[in-house]
Amino acid sequence: MTPFICASCGVNVCKTHELMFRLRGSLWDLVCAKLRVLPSNYLCIGCIEQAINRRLDCHDFDCLTINLGSDRRSDRLNDRLKGFKDIYSIASTRAYKEISE
Ligand SMILES: [Zn+2]
């Protein structure tokens, strides 16, 4: 079985329940570029937030059902997803400047 390891810090994101989420593609690509990891990897919330130097919020998550529901998620991930509804992320855009500084 393939281990679900954060490509940056090495924590098992399956065990910490930070596996079941998906960020918006542009943000994910930016984070992966900053951390110099391939976009096919897994990352924990802590490493993502360190890369963008701010906390994630519900607008950072992609319009996918994987982001709905709260089962099997860390308290931290549930907190960041608070208020997430799949329609929100369609209208939401965040400038590159805002997420990169
Ligand atoms: Zn990590």
Q: What is the predicted pLDDT for the residue at 89?
A: 46
Say which DSSP state 80 is in: H
Residue 42 falls inside a structural domain? yes
Q: What is the predicted pLDDT for the residue at 100?
A: 52
Residue 35 falls inside a structural domain? yes
Domain count within the chain? 1
Q: What is the predicted pLDDT for the residue at 101?
A: 47
**Quick check: 9 and 44 in contact, CB under 8 A?**
yes
Cα of 69 from ligand 1 centre, angstroms: 23
For every residue of 20-77, DSSP letters joined together read S--B-HHHHHHHHHHHT--TTSB--HHHHHHHHTS---GGGB-SSGGGSS-TT--HHH
Cα of 86 from ligand 1 centre, angstroms: 25
Residue 78 falls inside a structural domain? yes
Please give the residue that has the higher pLDDT: either 69 or 95.
Answer: 69
Q: What is the predicted pLDDT for the residue at 97?
A: 47
Q: What is the predicted pLDDT for the residue at 3?
A: 80
Domain containing residue 57:
25-100
Q: State pLDDT tens for residues 44-76.
A: 999 999 999 999 999 899 888 888 877 789 999
